[in-house]
Amino acid sequence: MKTDLGVVKAGADNKVEVDIPTKDEDIDHEYDRVLKILAKPRTEQKQKRDAATKQEDYYKSFRTRVVLAWLITNLGLIIGILHTSSGIQGISVEGSASTANVYLTISTFPRQFTFSVTDTGQFCGVLLD
Q: Is residue 27 part of a domain?
A: yes
Global model pTM greater than 0.75: no
Instruction: Say yes or no: 32 and 68 in one domain.
Output: no
pLDDT for 88 equals 46
pLDDT in tens, 7-23: 677 777 778 777 777 78
Instruction: Say yes or no: 76 and 34 in one domain.
Output: no
pLDDT in tens, 43-98: 888 888 899 999 999 999 999 999 999 999 988 877 776 665 444 444 445 555 56
Which is more confident, 29 or 93? 29
Q: Is residue 105 part of a domain?
A: yes
Q: Give 125's DSSP letter.
A: H
Report the DSSP beta bridge partners of residue 17: 9
Q: Is residue 56 part of a domain?
A: no
Q: Is residue 110 part of a domain?
A: yes
Q: Degrees (nearest 5) of the Cα angle 100, 103, 107?
A: 140
What is the number of domains present in the chain?
A: 2
Q: List the domain range (segments joined by +) for residue 32.
A: 7-39
Instruction: Say yes or no: 103 and 66 in one domain.
Output: yes
